[in-house]
Amino acid sequence: MTEYQDPVATSGRSQTRRVVRWIMLVLGTLLSATALMVLLSAVLLSVFDSAEQWQTWRTDHYWILTTWRLVVYAFLVASWLKLKARLSQSKRIETRKEFRKLEVMVILLFVMIELSKAFLPSGGIR
pLDDT confidence of residue 125: 54
How confident is the model over 84-99, as pLDDT tens digits?
Answer: 888 888 888 888 888 8
Q: What sign does the dihedral 51-57-61-62 (CA atoms) show?
A: positive
Distance CA 70, CA 62 (A): 12
All residues at 6 or more sequence positions from 122 whose CB lies less than 8 Å from its CB, including other chains: 55, 58, 59
pLDDT confidence of residue 14: 87
Domain boundaries, the chain: 1-47, 49-126
Size of the chain in residues: 126
pLDDT confidence of residue 123: 57
Burial environment of residue 110 by CB neighbours within 10 A (0 to 12, 13 to 18, 19 or more): middle
Average pLDDT over residues 3-13: 59
One-letter amino acid identity for 67?
Answer: T
Specify the pTM. Answer: 0.62
Q: What sign does the dihedral 118-121-124-126 (CA atoms) show?
A: negative
All residues at 6 or more sequence positions from 57 whose CB lies less than 8 Å from its CB, including other chains: 48
Distance CA 15, CA 78 (A): 32
How confident is the model over 55-113, as pLDDT tens digits?
Answer: 888 888 889 989 999 999 999 999 999 988 888 888 888 888 888 999 999 999 999 98
